[in-house]
Amino acid sequence: MTPAGIFWICVAGLFVAFILFLVIRTLLVRVKPLPKEEFTPEDISEKQLGERLSEAVKIPTVTVLDGKGSYEPFLLFHAFLEKTYPNIFKSAEKTLINGYSLILKIDGSDKNLLPACFLSHQDVVPAPKEGWETEPFGGEIIDGFVYGRGSLDMKGHLIALMEGLEKILERKGKPVRSIYLCFGHDEEITGKDGARMIVEHLYAQGVRMEYVVDEGGAIMDGGLLGVNGKIALIGTCEKGYVDYVLTATKDGGHASSPKKRSSVDAIAEAVYDLSHLPMKSYWSKPIKETFRTLAPFMKFPYKLLFVNSDVLGPLLRWLLSKVNPVTNSIVRTTFAFTQLQGSSAPNVIPVTSKAVVNVRINIGQTQKEVKEYIQKVVGKEITVTELNPGFDPTPVSETKGEIYEIILKSVAEVFDGYIPAPYPFIAASDAKHYYKICDKVYRFGPIEMGVDDQNRIHADNERCNIASATRGAQFFARLIENTCY
């Protein structure tokens, strides 16, 4: 046999051995059953929850931006909560922050235990009537759904939390562990006057939390990742956020005699270049944990890929970046152009043209790195400036401690057969502010929704499934029972 033949036989042997290695690793991975107890969920009335959520939606607590709007609805919302949930308000010490953000503290019997903290936000984005099939703040109940702005983001979550806590207080009385409810009033504009100031207030008092739970994680169909069944995603961190303004300045003039290269041309090229040259994808710590957790539940081809993600990483990252926008977002920093500005008249070539790019920063990267990358791609003729202060990605909360295990247990008990898994939240929430007073900050929205309803958030015809919200209330009740009693 020739040396070349021997060489290729060796190559083939190594390839077969490599494939066998991957297959054997995959076959050795087994599903570990989640710990759970048999229990009877709280008897929470769907009819009553639906009616209460409807009333909450009717109060138009639209985020007040730059003094445009009214704070009066927030005070009406506080009065509604106090009237609707007497057990909570009878047990709680109430504190207002900046006039409209709300802290409710329920003292536990054991002062040695750090408190549990549950977040929600009262504010909702605006909802012009155009495009809606119902009144945006009508709170209409149709075919098992409450329609209206904020029904999903996030009054459904808030009402589910209040329903669950109200029931558990009624049945079990004073908790052992203290409980905080913290409801900001400006989450939709980063929580700078709400959640941030709540945290400053608590920090000044020396308060630390055992754990914090906010919106963010979701229940989704596992089919996208080759998992049979539903996945309950628990956010252990969130991506960073910043808006950059790209500005080009060149000679302007009359459109009848266009220059070879205007500020519009420069901005158009910058937008094109940045859209087609994204930052590199990579495995962050939390996404590694996501796939490590889900791999045992996957069908074989997917399982082979994800069990061996340490070896097949480049291929997997490429596939995830191509599958859909969500999977692309979990493996890279994303750029989304949202605003363009040129001339104020159709026949004038502008001296200055601008584009705003919304950036969601992957875990492990920083605003500084991102800005330097953008500047490198768009070139020196484009000025890159921050539209807002922005924030870097949050720390990553632990996934091995007792509290996290109890969250998993509570999910398994209420959502029987669903697979809980940690993941990096790709949007933003008030939770980002709470790391100053807590190391274990998690995000989980226990209201199950389909893709259609997910697409209604911040959009026309937002609605919340009442049965799903009722199950969410049972989850909150169970989590509180498992951690605070």
User: What is the three-class DSSP state of 385?
Assistant: strand
Start-to-end Cα distance in the chain = 76
Segment 49-90, tens digit of pLDDT: 999 999 999 999 999 998 889 999 999 999 999 999 999 999
State residue 248's pLDDT score: 97
Q: What gap in Å lies between CA 245 and CA 109, rounded to an integer?
A: 52
In the block, which residue shows the tokens 């080009």? Answer: 248
In this prediction, what percent of the chain has a pLDDT beyond 70?
100
Which stretches does DSSP call E strand in 346-452?
348-349, 352-361, 382-386, 419-425, 441-443
> Scanning the structure block, which residue is given the tokens 């605006």?
126
Task: With beta carbons less than 8 A apart as the criterion, state whether 477 and 44 touch.
Answer: yes
Q: How far apart are CA 112 and CA 407, in angstroms?
A: 21
Q: Domain ranges in the chain? A: 46-216+427-484, 240-279+333-392
Q: Which residues make beta-bridge pairs with 465?
A: 145
Measured between alpha carbons, how far is 201 from 436 in angstroms, rounded to an integer? 11
Report pLDDT digits (tens) over 265-310: 999 999 999 999 999 999 999 999 999 999 999 998 899 999 998 8
Q: Provide the Cα torsion 97, 102, 106, 111; round to 10°.
A: -40
Q: What is the CATH T-level fold of the domain 240-279+333-392, as seen in this structure?
A: Alpha-Beta Plaits (3.30.70)
Give 39-104 as a DSSP string.
Answer: -PPP---HHHHHHHHHHHHTS--BPPBTTBS-SHHHHHHHHHHHHH-HHHHHHEEEEEETTTEEEE
Tokens of 198: 């709540």
Among candidate residues 54, 103, 62, 105, the one with its CA nearest the CA of residue 80: 54
Q: Has residue 462 got a pLDDT over 90?
A: yes
Q: How confident is the model at residue 394 (pLDDT cuts 50, 70, 90)?
A: very high
Please say whether the beta carbons of 105 and 41 come within 8 A.
no
Q: What's the whole-model pTM score?
A: 0.92
**What does pLDDT average to over the chain?**
94
Residue 349 reports pLDDT greater than 80 = yes
Let me know: does 423 contact 397? Beta carbons within 8 Å. no
| Other CB atoms within 10 A of residue 269 CB | 16
CA gap 73, 89 in Å, rounded: 19
CA distances from 442 to 10, 156, 278 (A): 50, 18, 29
Q: Is the pLDDT of residue 1 over 80?
A: no
Model pLDDT, residue 262: 95
Average pLDDT over residues 9-17: 79
Q: Alpha helices of 174-227 — where are they, by DSSP H?
A: 195-204
Mind telling me the catalytic residues? 123, 187
Q: Which two tokens stand for residue 349?
A: 């070539």
Q: Are 218 and 422 in contact (CB under 8 A)?
A: no
Q: Please give the average per-residue pLDDT across 237-249, as a whole number.
A: 97
pLDDT at 142: 98
Q: What is the arithmetic mean of pLDDT over 215-229?
A: 89
Model confidence at 32, pLDDT cuts 50, 70, 90, reads confident
CA distance 418 to 26: 22
402 vs 28: CA distance, rounded Å: 27
Mean pLDDT for the stretch of residues 197-220: 96
- Judge whether residue 222 has pLDDT over 80: yes
Quick one: DSSP state of residue 419?
Answer: E
Report pLDDT for 29: 87
Max mean pLDDT range (4-18, 324-338, 366-380): 366-380
How much is the average pLDDT of 423-441? 96
Q: Would you say the C-alpha torsion 458, 464, 469, 472 has a positive or negative sign? A: negative
Mean pLDDT of 369-393: 96
Residue ranges in 277-428 assigned as alpha helix (H): 285-294, 300-307, 309-323, 325-329, 367-378, 402-414
Instruction: Write out pLDDT tens, residues 82-135.
Output: 999 999 999 999 999 999 999 999 999 999 999 999 999 999 999 999 999 999
Query: How sure is the predictor about 205, in pLDDT bands with cuts at 50, 70 and 90?
Result: very high
CATH code given to domain 46-216+427-484: 3.40.630.10
Q: What is the pLDDT of residues 309-333, one digit of tens each?
A: 888 888 889 888 888 888 899 999 9
Domains 46-216+427-484 and 240-279+333-392 in one fold:
no
Task: Give the pLDDT score at 7.
Answer: 76
The whole-angstrom separation of Cα 482 and Cα 172 is 12
